[in-house]
Amino acid sequence: MELDVKSPIYLIGGGGHCKVIVDCLMLRGGKILGYSDLTPIDWLENLSIPRLSEVEVKELCSKKSQFAMSIVGKNADSLKERFQKIHAYKAYGAIFPTIIHPQAIISPTSKIHPGAHVLAGAVINSFSCIEEDTIINTRAIIEHDAYIGAGSHIAPGSIILGGAKVGNCSYIGASSVIIQSTSVPENSFIKAGNIWQGS
């Protein structure tokens, strides 16, 4: 399910990734009506986006409201926690739509599952598959026939070459390269700038 700009959306988390998601939503014409975080976030408050209580969040979930998980994992373990948190909200009824930056380039033959974030300058090439709740970050490139597992994060500038597979909840660090037709196991952490040639 893609973002419904006619319906409001709510944010979970208020860190750096949230700033990118807010920009993307504003460019798409999304109506951001609240955020959830442990503490008040000044920059969100300055945008007149109010902080929600957990009671309010659960009530919104029960009404099948749209949410964006605007927290990004820093490693494979935190990505797994992020993925589990999304599914906990889904169990209450929340909807996590696909959010695509208007400057992303996406092949019409690719498949992008609900909850994915595809950010500015990202390229998703032909016959690739992006599973649910992934982050394809700024200027990341997903080449033809590549597969990105659920809950994974492809960090800025990374390149996933043709036919490569990235397992669920894996973190591919900034400017990394995953060589064509190789497989990255699930829950992997590839450090920034590395070249993965298979295990």
In a domain, 176, yes or no: no
Does any domain span residue 46? yes
Q: What is the pTM of this model?
A: 0.95
**Cα 97 from chain centroid?**
10
Residue 28 CA to its chain's centroid (Å): 16
Helix (H) / strand (E) containing 106 = strand 105-106
Q: Token digits for 182?
A: 């190789």
Could you list the residue range(s) of the whole structural domain that residue 36 is in?
Answer: 8-98
Residue 51 located in a structural domain: yes
117's CB contacts (< 8 A; 6+ apart) are 21, 24, 68, 98, 99, 134, 135, 136, 137
- Residue 60 forms part of a structural domain: yes
pLDDT tens-digit readout, 136-184: 999 999 999 999 999 999 999 999 999 999 999 999 999 999 999 999 9
* Domain annotation covers residue 132: no
CATH number at residue 62: 3.40.50.20
Q: Which tens digit of pLDDT belongs to each residue from 72-91?
A: 878 899 999 999 999 999 99
